[in-house]
Amino acid sequence: MEKADNYINEYEYKDAVIKARISTLEIASAEIAAHNRMADNSDDPWQAQALCARVDYELFFPEKGGSARDAKKVCARCPVREQCLDAALSNGESYGIWGGYTERERRKLQK
Ligand code: SF4
């Protein structure tokens, strides 16, 4: 009986974790779509060179308290980092890593 109770608790726990993860993913997917729209805009040549288009976009939208380190490593090697940062600042992008800067770091740049 105790084992069954543990199983139910474990099941409920996993269900809660999955629901929280789905909620986070829904927010992230909207942010990723915005990032993709910008990276896929072939009218701007620099966007075709965006290194982030070749890696997992979720890297660029870490969860709250998550690390931006891996995204920054990609940005550090990106040939269009300056253009990306300029565009993000001009467009007021408020989420994600752009040009190697987190949203907080971009806010500081604009002060
Ligand atoms: S600087 Fe970073 S976010 Fe910007 S295009 Fe390059 S890899 Fe993507």
How far, in Å, from the CA of 26 to the mean position of ligand 1?
22
Does this model's pTM top 0.75? My answer is no
- Measured by CA distance, the residue closest to atom 2 of ligand 1 is 75
pLDDT tens across 29-64, in order?
Answer: 666 666 665 665 556 678 889 999 889 888 999 988
CA distances (Å), origin 25, targets 12, 16, 17, 52, 99? 20, 14, 12, 18, 23
For residue 106 and ligand 1, the question of a CB distance below 6 A is answered with no
Using a 6 Å cutoff on CB, does residue 84 contact ligand 1?
yes
How much distance in Å is there from the Cα of 15 to the middle of ligand 1?
Answer: 35
Which whole number is the average pLDDT over 79-99? 94
List the domain boundaries for the chain: 2-109
